[in-house]
Amino acid sequence: MNLKGRSFLTLKDFTSDEIEYLIDLAADLKDKKKKGITGKSLQGKNIALIFEKPSTRTRCAFTIACIDEGGHPEYLGTNDIQLGHKESVEDTARVLGRMFDGIEFRGFKQETVEKLAKYSKVPVWNGLTDQYHPTQILADFLTLKEQFGVLKGLNLVYVGDGRNNMANSLMIGSSKLGINFTILAPEELWPSESLISTCKEYAATSGSTITISKDLSSVAGADAIYTDVWCSMGEEDMAAERVSLLRPYQVNHELMGKTKKENTILLHCLPAVKGYEVTEELFEEHAEVIFDEAENRMHTIKAVMVATLGETK
């Protein structure tokens, strides 16, 4: 499958076959790395890593994935370049596009990563914005496939802030790949009606369902429960309000019991604030899978870079 030259900004832009291709490529690259085999797909390529928001997994994953494939990653923090301050995003993009072969962006506005892609004319990869987090979804789905062998027909329930970038992106990815997806959240934190409508259209094609609920019993039958921090980066001033709203939606043994299944797994994109969105005891019981998921960020990000920029030999 040829994805050369494509940017990776949101899963809306990719077909189910293309998403599955990236997941399968990541699994192959992971297997090779476990055997000590790295590639040269990005040899001679220079990759700009722009970070408005700090990160552990995203920065490390892009850096190591790039080096594994022979490329050179260059970290550009908020104090390193003039992006959106002394220089417009458009002009910064045009400069970087003439010097780098690919650009990763992790920051606030989806509009910024879209402008970088439009004006740089090189592949741009979304490492996280306030609206979407597509590379994380690939890692989540690789983890689900490792655990269950399939994706289509699985029941995935996201519990917590139902309108953040993770809930949005999981809903898009699930509806594209035929995963039955439920958002369990208070009504104040439900996703936008327009995105729900779009994802229901995707789900009608893939044969899955989209459910938005505030009823804790909606976790029944879940193969996986997914949670995330109650306050996203930049929303710290809303912490008290979020805790009040979301305390009933903590993922704990009582909630897991409502799945009526013994093999339900817990997923978390990390970092976790244990004692809030998830109890420490339950987190530790599922830590092996959660940290498989964290490692899979590297393999899936590598797949995205190889597929959209790499040279196959």
133 is known as an active-site residue? yes
* Residue keyed to tokens 């980066």: 233
pLDDT of residue 235: 75
Note whether 140 and 280 are same-domain residues.
yes
Note whether 121 and 236 are same-domain residues.
no
Q: Would the pLDDT of 5 be above 70?
A: yes
Note whether 214 and 66 are same-domain residues.
no
DSSP lists the bridge partners of residue 158 as: 183, 226
pLDDT in tens, 273-288: 999 999 999 999 999 9
136 is known as an active-site residue? yes
pLDDT in tens, 110-134: 999 999 999 999 999 999 999 999 9
Residue 6 placed within a domain = no
Note whether 158 and 282 are same-domain residues.
yes
Q: Would the pLDDT of 236 be above 90?
A: no
User: How are the residues of the chain apportioned to helix, strand and coil, as percentages rounded to the nearest 5?
Assistant: 50, 15, 35
Query: Measured between alpha carbons, how far is residue 252 from residues 53, 164, 247, 278 in Å?
Result: 29, 21, 11, 6
Q: What is the CATH number of the domain that holds 165?
A: 3.40.50.1370
Residue 4 placed within a domain = no
CB neighbourhood size of 65 (10 A): 27
The confidence band for 4, taking pLDDT boundaries of 50, 70 and 90, is very high
Note whether 110 and 179 are same-domain residues.
no
Residues flagged as binding site for L-ornithine: 165, 228, 232-233
pLDDT in tens, 65-122: 999 999 999 999 988 998 878 899 999 999 999 999 999 999 999 999 999 999 999 9
Note whether 150 and 282 are same-domain residues.
yes
Residue 3 placed within a domain = no
Note whether 142 and 287 are same-domain residues.
yes
94 is known as an active-site residue? no
**Catalytic residue chosen out of the listed positions 6, 66, 68, 106:** 106
pLDDT of residue 82: 83
What is the three-class DSSP state of 76?
A: strand
**Contact call for residues 25 and 185 (beta carbons, < 8 A):** no
**Contact call for residues 303 and 310 (beta carbons, < 8 A):** no
Domains in the chain: how many in total? 2
Note whether 152 and 247 are same-domain residues.
yes
**Catalytic residue chosen out of the listed positions 6, 133, 242, 286:** 133
Residue 19 placed within a domain = yes
pLDDT of residue 312: 65
Q: Would the pLDDT of 313 be above 90?
A: no
**Contact call for residues 51 and 75 (beta carbons, < 8 A):** yes
**Catalytic residue chosen out of the listed positions 136, 161, 268, 286:** 136
299 is known as an active-site residue? no
Note whether 99 and 239 are same-domain residues.
no
**Domain range spanning residue 257?**
136-294
**Catalytic residue chosen out of the listed positions 131, 269, 286, 299:** 269
* Residue keyed to tokens 């220079």: 46
pTM, to two decimals: 0.96
The confidence band for 238, taking pLDDT boundaries of 50, 70 and 90, is confident
